[in-house]
């Protein structure tokens, strides 16, 4: 069920002729024990980066990254990295900016990737199940970078 805030924003966006893609909503409560506000997330994101590789480039990338065999998704597109976060856009940006100590995919470490065609996208999924969806992608579509080991969880 959409909150009143979401209903209002969707209506106003429609009036102003802004296309909406999806929405987020949370529940805010004051925790009297900890004496602070807490946020209950209802959605999180699972995202991926893909790279397009022809036969020659595939061999070069696979040797450079030492990734082993990786599942072709379609039309020469291979999964480069799968990730998850409750804040999709900022986390996807961090992977490209590569700030120190944040567990990014480390694109700049691999010369073979620098001239590759890379695309990305993400979906919003139920908060309680987003870690399971990322794990499913790792298990069924092994990426070139990253591993299926469990990363940090959101405890917010």
37-81 tens-digit pLDDT = 988 888 889 999 999 999 999 999 999 999 988 889 999 999 999
1-38 tens-digit pLDDT = 888 999 999 999 999 999 998 888 888 899 899 899 98
Q: What does the domain layout of the chain look like in residue ranges? A: 4-40, 43-140
pLDDT at residue 149 in the model: 57
pLDDT confidence bin for 156, thresholds 50/70/90: very low
Residue 102 has pLDDT above 80, yes or no: no
Share of the chain above pLDDT 90, in %: 51
pLDDT averaged over every residue in the chain: 87
Domain 43-140 fold: Alpha-Beta Plaits (3.30.70)
116-141 tens-digit pLDDT = 899 999 988 888 889 999 999 999 99
Least confident among 57-66, 109-118, 143-152: 143-152
Strand partners, 45: 85, 124
Residue 147 has pLDDT above 70, yes or no: no
Residue 154 has pLDDT above 80, yes or no: no
- Measured distance CA(112)–CA(75) in Å, rounded: 19
Report the 3 state secondary structure along the chain: CCCHHHHHHHHHHHHCCCCCCCCCCEEEEEECCCCEEEEEECEEEEEEEEEECCHHHHHHHHHHHCCCCCCCCECCEEEEEEEEECCHHHHHHHHHHCCCCCCCCCHHHCHHHCCCEEEEEEEEEEHHHHHHHHHHHHHHCCCCCCCCCCCCCCCC
């Amino acid at each position: 069920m959409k909150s009143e805030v979401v209903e209002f924003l969707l209506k106003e966006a429609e009036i102003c002729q802004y296309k909406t893609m999806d929405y987020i909503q949370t529940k805010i409560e004051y925790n009297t024990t900890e004496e602070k506000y807490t946020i209950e997330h209802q959605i999180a994101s699972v995202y991926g980066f893909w790279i397009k590789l022809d036969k020659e480039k595939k061999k070069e990338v696979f040797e450079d990254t030492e990734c082993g065999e990786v599942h072709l998704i379609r039309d020469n597109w291979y999964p480069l990295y799968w990730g998850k976060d409750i804040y999709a856009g900022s986390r996807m940006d961090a992977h490209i900016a590569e700030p120190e100590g944040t567990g990014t995919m480390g694109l700049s470490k691999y010369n073979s990737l620098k001239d590759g065609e890379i695309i990305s996208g993400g979906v919003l999924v139920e908060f309680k199940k987003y870690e399971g969806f990322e794990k499913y992608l790792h298990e069924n579509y092994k990426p070139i970078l990253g591993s299926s080991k469990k990363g940090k969880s959101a405890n917010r």
